[in-house]
Structure 1
């Protein structure tokens, strides 16, 4: 039994009706034990017992069973077990186009030198199709290209073999690899195909030099780019390959400095900076570079490096003209300096603005080409500012900006526009009297704010006179230092104040001057001892006598010691002391008044003559003193006095005369009568102006003594009073009695000239021989005041 079935049917597909072909019913197949018998093969078919049909036992692949055989037959036997009958079955497996042509390799690489001539044939791998007949490989096709074509050659075995034919010369640099697709087609329906990729590699020959990617390279680099930075990478490509395409880079030899600034990496083509760039030295650089392949073909290119400016340069000053000194009276607008400012940078970095500090009497005037003038804006004053350290700041427009300072030291020249000036409008100086000649009194200093000769000050005194003598004979001044010197010793008692005018004059042209007053006060010193005005010391060697009645009570005013001191102040404060007395305790002296009073009642045993030594002392440091010796006659009547006057002796005193004063009756009588008469006449006429004669009454002792010397302790001006004892002579007995009433006070100091040059008690020549005549003469002038017995006292 022969059957035919196509391959690739599903399992259970109908192949043939076995039961029918054997003449059996389908039910008989099971009963008779019909089965398929094969020899060791996989059973491809099976019997369907229900239908009695022969069906496929699985998928049948014809190419697996029969490969490339034209016919594919499967033989097996069917056994009828009941009769042990064997039937031969042959099933033809027909081909279907279930296999596409397939190449042995999916991609084929072919290598052809680019120098191969056209017509060159290259055999290709053929495709295989497992199908047979029309379903097998029928033809080849090649994709369209410009260099290759396909030619199919039929072999002796009947197979078709494709060949690749070179139609046009190859250029590896134009196309190094050609990609072809070879398609194998069968004749089935539908047509199946298989493809093979063909990679034709064109083998290189060194027929190309390296070519740079750019004919000229340009790069911009800031000038502060760090050394070692790669600024550019040049690339040269060689169309060749392998060793022929190995490119190396070289700097073309250049004697310029550019070759020292940049370094070229020979393998990579990177250009790095080896030396700092400076826009101010070169704004761009040209670098010639060569690229060379392995065999030695080369090409060249140029790299232009543009250096970009960075604000790395501060402005620079170029001083064209500058003055170091200008007079202070120069008018505004005076040119001090002319300078140029330049910045080596460019663009905004080179835009410069100049400025000055505020509050300076200067300004900047801009001129062409960045020239500037420094001029004054007002009149300068050297005394306010003698110099200016002017700082001119130039600032560029970079970011951040840079600046430069220029310093101009300007001295302001002085003119004589300031006179010398004293710190004070007037001065006061004090000098003690009795100064040494040449002693420095005071120092004056005038200040002139000018300089040099304009500030050199000389001093001189204004011409004046003092007490009829030129002032220059008293005071001199050092013309250079202004120190005042005393040319003589000053006397406070002569003058107390000097008014001076000092002139300070500078040495300018013309000179300027100023004046100042100086009040020089002479300070008192204790250089004058007290001067005793009363009792006055006799000039003929005799001594005066004071009278004290024996009936005087304690405190009776006997006399008063009057003294003055030509000094002033404390130096003229006087105190009186009883140094010595012949009868201690009998008399006392007022400490401040100088009054000599009885300390107790007089006794009969007290001697007629009492000698007292009174000291007058001032309060200066050290104190000075003077002494006077008083002789007091103690008696109740004139005869007693006359009887005992001869026994009076001159007391011993260092300042008194050594001659003993003898008072005789004749001298006393005549002198008293004569002087009393004269005094009466003068008293009548001079009574109205007794006060004005106060200073004249003291004689030469008060001449020249100012009234201010008579100042007491309490500060009240002192005045002199006269104590006048009235002497009455009676003629009713031989004995005359001297009566001592209370003293009368008159604000007059009687001049000694009115009493004559001599005391009637102290001149023995005027004593008459006849006492009776003397007494009668005295009696004829009764109740006449005798001024020769005047006592002078001062009351504060």
Structure 2
């Protein structure tokens, strides 16, 4: 009991001192020297304190208000938060508490006190502030901020390495022992320490060496941390929390093979990069911290095989070179495993299987033919004869059977191949300007029942020969300005050649014939300048000038071409920028080929005209002869292709015109052909008609001969009688008109009308 009272007294003393310190600056009237500062006041009382959590069944006196001016009739009145509800005062100034207080909710109550005369209700003493301070008791225990803590630290960490910090709070007054918290490890002290004041957990160090935290032995630790208040006493509130510490892995173990010998089989046909097999390893570290290094100890095998890590950090054997069963059937070599650790390995002393023996057996397969070269390259000149040999390809059977090889090539290839020897020949004419590079697949096949095949590419380059004439590089529109003076360069021309241009080979230019108006200067760089010689050109001169240019290459042998380049005269502005050219009346520059074509056309036309004239003269002679031999001339008029209209003539023509044609008095004057002198006698009538026909043929202004006007003379009747429908009786005639078929094709129509079944093929025109 004595100890408890001492504790209470100490707590009260400390609380009072703290209270007075806190409020000394707020109210100068409430200090330790109360009397000195309030000498005008008549209030007298001690500081009022009350314990929290005190059980209140009835009002409990906690202090007394005193004033020198108080009388037996005076009463005390208090105001403020809690006044007259939580705290009350009687007429004697005794202060009572009526409720249980909680310091954690409110630790100080600010109140005012007044003394009033009960009869006069006059204020005997001015109101004065006073405080009721709630004294703390240890009614709260420390509380952790988390229900569980989780932390981590690398394995094999040095002593004192921070892991994590725990924190607990106590609602009691932090200025007293009740509110102070200290920490302790209830579990885990063998590997970790904790700072009793801050709660920081660190790895443990004992006597200058670090406790070995080995993840491979134990990867998780469970710690129990206690938080306790009133650290100066054994009694006090406590709470605990669980802390899980996980060890992080580091590379502190060496990898080893799981076995000492590994055996693998691989086909000889497998390609480079093929995975032959995996060598399993063992490493206690986590996957991300494993870093094994594999080394093949046999230098020769190291160039054929390779061992590297896979995603599981196993050793993967891959193929670096092609295998050949016919050469080597088995490989044997050793593989060592090593690893660089961050510190001395835990398993260094107990390490085993750091070396393994590997045996690889090569399996035989039937392989396709193998060409001696991965590709073939040949060069041949263009335009060589078909069947020219360019070289050969060769393949062999790599197997023991050594089967015969036959070669083949596509039918549309520019080459053909000898199926047994592999010799290549040209199959068509090669033109470098059409295609200068060919990639031709050639197939080699074994002649056994499986007929395995393989292919190789033959690259054929067609080299150039000088088989193309040089030309102008582009179509030039050359003009000369009327104000261009002597020496003015009016155009720079360039040469082009379909043949391959070799370094240093440049075409040369020259005039094929001297030109009085223009000169040509070779620049010796594949170009030439056309310049004005004398000038004096006029825009009104629509003549187009021609210069004859010879372009020569320097091939072996050299080739050249002649170019006719027209030059127009134009009206130009300054610097020859804007110009206007008139279209020439005629083109005077024509190529040799064009002139030859024109001459051939003219010659052909002349031959045709001569043949027509000769044929026409021959026809005239034939008709004249026929007319004289028959004795009847009147019928020759039918040759002018004017076929009668039959009975329709009576409607189409006035018959009186024919009758009046015999009466010269009716005509206003003689017609053109009537003026021609007519030979006397019936025998000369044919000659007269021919004369009149010739005059009609050569007189452009004359009326056509096959009109009614030419019938100015009626010949004697013919053997066939009259052919006119005007005087023909309606009865059928019994005359035979078959002789009309003998008069030729011009009487064919009459023969068909009056003859009997005249054949169209009786006469050839």
The TM-score range, normalised by the shorter chain, is 0.3 to 0.5
**Greater gyration radius:** 1
Structure 1 or 2: larger strand share? 1
Higher relative contact order (CA 8 A, sep 6+): 1
Task: Report the TM-score when normalising by structure 1.
Answer: 0.32
Task: Report the TM-score when normalising by structure 2.
Answer: 0.33
